Chain A
Amino acid sequence: SQTIHQWPATLVQPVGSPLSLECTVEGTSNPNLYWYRQAAGRGLQLLFYSVGIGQISSEVPQNLSASRPQDRQFILSSKKLLLSDSGFYLCAWSPGGPTYEQYFGPGTRLTVT
């Protein structure tokens, strides 16, 4: 069966510090991968998605970036965090067509102080 991991589970970072969140998927190959952010009281916002190694699509221009160095690894980064970057960061994977069902990891709760 497939398993998706995210770490760290929680993170408190000062404004202006860098960020690196990691997501890995086990039990599948060539998954579609996604990064979402869920701010307090708001809906899920798609940040990035990837259909293959090195292929990243950005949905929202901001100070975040994503990379996919390996087939089942997806990394979210920032060089300088803003207060508005606080939120619940969720990684998800999908086997792709024809169903496009997405499955979420446990998430990382980021607080920028």
Chain B
Amino acid sequence: QKEVEQNSGPLSVPEGAIASLNCTYSDRGSQSFFWYRQYSGKSPELIMSIYSNGDKEDGRFTAQLNKASQYVSLLIRDSQPSDSATYLCAVRRVQAGTALIFGKGTTLSVSS
């Protein structure tokens, strides 16, 4: 079982719709969870972090964490073509010290 799994996509949504990106992780000891956005040819950019169960909202982005079910999700409301990118889920396991484990990413395409 992969440590951090994401559907590779592509996930296609029309402009203005809600995009829902999901991520599951295998280690119940995981403590910190992150979402990164990566445009083609560019480096990843941190967009959300979440540490406790529930929802965390930041502008059009909402991160959701459910430790019992071992999944974390990212909702993007009012999706824009500029949101088209690959979204990487990252998890910190206590046993791994400060290192993060990344999923392979989900490609999102927002059509105008």
Give me the interface of A with B, judged by CB distance under 8 Å. 32, 34, 42-44, 46, 49, 51, 57, 59, 88, 90, 94, 96-97, 99-107
B87 at the interface (CB under 8 A from A): no
B36 CB contacts on chain A under 8 angstroms: 104
B57 at the interface (CB under 8 A from A): no
With both beta carbons as reference points, the residue of chain B lying nearest to A91 in the complex is identified as: B43
A103 touching B46 by the CB < 8 A rule? yes
Given A43-B105, A44-B102, A49-B98, residue A99 in contact with residue B32 (CB < 8 A): yes
With both beta carbons as reference points, the residue of chain B lying nearest to A109 in the complex is identified as: B41
B49 touching A101 by the CB < 8 A rule? yes
CB distance from B103 to the nearest CB of A (A): 7
Interface residues on B, range: 20 to 34
A43 CB contacts on chain B under 8 angstroms: 88, 102-105
6 closest Cβ pairs, A-B complex? A43-B104, A44-B102, A104-B43, A107-B43, A32-B98, A104-B44
Contact with A along B82-107 (1 / 0, CB 8 A): 00000010101000011111111100
A44 touching B44 by the CB < 8 A rule? yes
B78 at the interface (CB under 8 A from A): no
